[in-house]
Amino acid sequence: MKSAETKVEDTEENRQICRKYCGGCPTYKYNSLEKFQPDTLFCARGKSSSPSMKEVNCYCPACPLFDKNNLVIGRFCHRG
């Protein structure tokens, strides 16, 4: 059953999956999100603490965790 309660687990395996998508994402690169915490897996760990954020594009919909966890929209680095 689909549920808004679905939660992505914060595991090292999931962080590695995320790095393949967020790590190559234009928004991530433009805002140098590797410099701020959380630096990955925003869908589980919340939005970036970067003081300024410009949304460029989001690769979340291509990520396997996105479908698996029934996530919507993406841009979790900015929107939490």
Binding residue (CB under 6 A) for ligand SF4 from 36, 46, 50, 71: 71
Rounded Cα distance, 80 and 28, in Å = 14
Q: Tell me: does residue 65 bind ligand SF4 (CB under 6 A).
A: yes
The beta strands (E) that lie in 1-80 are given as none
- Site size toward ligand SF4 (CB under 6 A) is 23
CB atoms within 10 A of CB 56: 12
| Residue indicated by tokens 């869908």 | 43
Residues that bind ligand SF4 (CB under 6 A): 8, 17-18, 21-22, 25, 27-28, 33, 41-43, 58-60, 63, 65-66, 71, 74-77
